[in-house]
Structure 1
Amino acid sequence: MTIFGTIRAPRELIFGAGQRNALGQVASKLGRRALVVTDERLARDPDFLRVVEQLETAGVSVKVDASTLPDVPVETAVTSADAARSFAPDLVIGIGGGSCLDMAKCVAVLLTHGGHPQDYYGEFMVPGPVMPLIALPTTAGTGSEATPVAVLSDSERHLKVGISSPFIIPTVSICDPELTLTCPSSLTAIAGADALTHAIEAFTAIRRDPVPGLAQERVFVGKNATSDHFALTAIGLLWEGLEAACTNGDNIEARAKVMLGATTAGLAFGVAGTAAAHAIQYPVGALTHTAHGAGVACLMPYVMAWNTPAIGPELDQIAKATGLSSPTDVIPAIAGLFGRIGIPKTLRDLGLAEDRLDWVAEQSCGIARLIQNNPRPLDLADMRKLLDAAYSGDLASLEMN
């Protein structure tokens, strides 16, 4: 087998407790007028206010935009960019959860290149570099601080949409696990389960023929040597830290493992991509309005069970990374972990109506970018079988297919 790999990452990634206090020094080397994108709750947080003061002390003029909403409605990014133009920022800083970071990415694109978010949907549609962008995550889940992705919600399409381009990877990311200490247990669980799903789907994605130019033709190239390294590291870190962080939010060591796991999972799926669990969650989320992390994690054991014939070596490596005695223990162990931290076990538990399963199957199969990344093919009939199992909680039926 030819060894092939690619890494797309921030120019600088700084990780560690207290490292948020380096923001002023970092920002002052990249710009003089910073648009700081956050949400209304964080804008009143003492840690946030200290960070803004730190920027001003470093000689950086600051405009705070606290308009970020969950799932980033497209029109809010347009409004934010329009409101910022008179300030003429030369630097965008995203501080907050995944939505704040995605909002910052989209606003940086609009301020640099103009147009509308719809102009940049899909892969490689951003025409060139954007203004310097700094990410300071306060949750550990999406990995947006390390990925070429910004996810938005478009009311006209009734589904989430993505801008995928190496140009929107943050210039610098500062990951400080102390910022996650106040994150409630339920959000810690949902975000961390999202990160573990990212890592598993990246590690078990399809492996494509590494023809020259693959990484220029696809943002998400599939499983490869470097993404495997980051994915397996993330799986080990999250396995060790996630339940402990949910049980005791003051456990800074567990918090650090979860945050580093989320970031390394971002480095993995930012090039390898995700697969069927994410494809299914898009229509499920549109119908149930449940948190993305809860949806993909609920689906992950069923997708793994379907994929089992195609991922034997990967299950063996995951077993070793998590200290499990056998590859056959991996899927029940992942499902057990998710259950213990409060992730719903079935699509029924997520609130999906049974009479919408056909529609979900059709919509999921239509998200070709993700379905084609799945290691085992899924046609419409197979997708319906998978959804039936995920609705009823019948993992065994998939393991027999």
Structure 2
Amino acid sequence: MTLSSTVLPTADRSVNVLALGLLRQPATVLFGPGQRRQLPRLVAEIARHVLVVTDARMAASAEFTEMVSGLDAVGVRVSVFGETEPELPERDVAALVDRFAGQGIGAVVGLGGGSCMDLAKVAAVVLPSSADVREFHGEFRVPGPGLPIITVPTTGGTGAEVTCISVLFDEDKGMKVGVASPHLQARITVIDPEFTLSCPPGLTAATAADALSHLVESFTGRAKNPTADALAGTLYAGKNLLTDLFARHGLLLMSRSLPRLAADPQDLSARSEVMLAAYCAGMAINTAGTAGAHAIQSPIGALTHTPHGFGVSALLPAVMRYNLPSRVPEFAEIADILGVAVAGQDEQDQARSGILGIEALLETIGAPLDLASLGLPVEQFGFVADQALLATRLTANNPRPLTREAIMAILEHGHAGDRSWWG
């Protein structure tokens, strides 16, 4: 498909003219190998009965047993919901509430990957009330604070430990929906890279690809320059000075740690840097938001049942090329950060080197770079485009306007694995 200038608006460059900086973050963040052992002391300071939300794999682990024993030793009663499913269907929320409503839960611990932490965050606002989680779909729909939230990630990728949004799969609508509110912000986050040493290779690659996509999309996203009134009711305020600080550092960490992790999955130093990069990515997207690749991935994931991280990885080459005309300076800076800029290049060529550098990192960890490898049928492109356009909280963050024609072009080039500079 050729993009028509009569249909697709000319690429415009949004700039942070307000010099705005905005972060939302947990009150306490503890990072480092072995730091999970601090969790009982931290939890005991805020609750005597906690609900631990996790999945079957983690619930059967030695680390989980150690954590529960530690909480019990300081007098904290522990209840467990250990059946969190991937991609977090909303039925998991209903099952949790049916089991634990009225049980005197004082805080909620999310232990695991993104779905476990997202479920914990939603549970913290639904358990104290009689509300249906569907009442909270969208931004700023949660009426007030819920139970204290403690997040403990066991993968290096989603950033859910520090974001104030939970993504759920609405089975009636057949699409992902978001519950986005500052009231979902964790009170305490404990990030222990030792958890990731037992992470399977496929999950390691998918979550690392997800984190890398967060860094790229937050750094190259739209700067929105919101008014004071708009800022008071907007979760995603756009690319800003403070999110750029985290995105830059996360990209630097990824550039030096992903090749080492691919070479040796037991390299704790590399695992630690990837997990720190994922934290940086979470801090960035918490106010900058994700953009086109995430909007388009959601319906692709529903159709192909492929991991979220692999979906955004497969989309990134085409999405980055489409966005390049609006973000040449940012992609050029990415080339500098990754150490792939070539002396004497002009800014346009350096920007292209930045894109190629991101793709090389994805290839290093074995993440896919084309949509055909996900099994996406060509005849479903129209459905994917229509569904992606419904994700307005994400499409609004894309630096170049996303029309149906533009998304169809991204899908066609992405499916063909076309890595020419078509955008």
Tell me the CA shift for residue 85 of structure 1.
2.3
Q: Of 285, 288, 296, which aligns to 1:280?
A: 296
1:98 maps to 114
Asked if 1 retains the 8 angstrom alpha-carbon contact of 2:262 and 2:364, the reply is no
Tell me the CA shift for residue 60 of structure 1.
0.6
Say whether residues 1:387 and 2:411 are aligned partners. yes
Asked if 2 retains the 8 angstrom alpha-carbon contact of 1:153 and 1:161, the reply is yes
Deviations 1:310-334, CA, capped at 9 Å, x for gaps: 1111112211211111332111221
Asked if 1 retains the 8 angstrom alpha-carbon contact of 2:125 and 2:142, the reply is yes
Letter paired with 2:28: E
2:362 maps to 338
Q: Of 353, 365, 368, which aligns to 1:329?
A: 353
Asked if 2 retains the 8 angstrom alpha-carbon contact of 1:146 and 1:169, the reply is yes
Q: Of 187, 196, 214, which aligns to 1:198?
A: 214
Q: CA RMSD in A?
A: 1.2
Equivalent residue pairs, number: 399
Highest RCO, 1 vs 2 (Cα 8 Å, sep ≥ 6): 2
Say whether residues 1:138 and 2:154 are aligned partners. yes
Asked if 2 retains the 8 angstrom alpha-carbon contact of 1:78 and 1:107, the reply is no
**Whole-angstrom distance in 2 between the partners of 1:185 and 1:143:** 19
Letter paired with 1:340: T
Q: Of 374, 378, 382, which aligns to 2:398?
A: 374
Please, which moves more after superposition, 233-242 or 14-23? 233-242
**Whole-angstrom distance in 1 between the partners of 2:392 and 2:169:** 19
Say whether residues 1:249 and 2:273 are aligned partners. no
Tell me the CA shift for residue 116 of structure 1.
1.1
Asked if 2 retains the 8 angstrom alpha-carbon contact of 1:144 and 1:266, the reply is yes
Letter paired with 2:118: D
Asked if 1 retains the 8 angstrom alpha-carbon contact of 2:338 and 2:357, the reply is no
Give TM-score scaled by structure 2 length. 0.92
**Whole-angstrom distance in 2 between the partners of 1:77 and 1:55:** 24
Asked if 2 retains the 8 angstrom alpha-carbon contact of 1:102 and 1:144, the reply is yes
**Whole-angstrom distance in 2 between the partners of 1:112 and 1:313:** 47
Give TM-score scaled by structure 1 length. 0.97
Structure 2 regions of 5+ residues with no counterpart?
Answer: 1-16, 342-349
1:289 maps to 305
Tell me the CA shift for residue 86 of structure 1.
4.2
Say whether residues 1:153 and 2:153 are aligned partners. no
Asked if 1 retains the 8 angstrom alpha-carbon contact of 2:56 and 2:84, the reply is yes
Identity %: 39
Which consecutive aligned stretches of 4+ in structure 1 deviate over 4 angstroms post-superposition?
none
Alignment of 1:36-47 (within 5 A): 36-47=52-63
Tell me the CA shift for residue 73 of structure 1.
1.3
Please, which moves more after superposition, 46-55 or 380-389? 380-389
2:14 maps to none
2:322 maps to 306
Counterpart secondary structure, 1:145: coil
Say whether residues 1:218 and 2:234 are aligned partners. yes
Say whether residues 1:266 and 2:282 are aligned partners. yes
Q: Of 105, 108, 112, which aligns to 1:89?
A: 105
1:347 maps to 371
**Whole-angstrom distance in 1 between the partners of 2:114 and 2:308:** 11
2:8 maps to none
Counterpart secondary structure, 1:130: coil
- Which of the pair is proportionally richer in helix? 1
Asked if 2 retains the 8 angstrom alpha-carbon contact of 1:140 and 1:180, the reply is yes
Counterpart secondary structure, 1:173: strand
Structure 1 regions of 5+ residues with no counterpart?
Answer: none
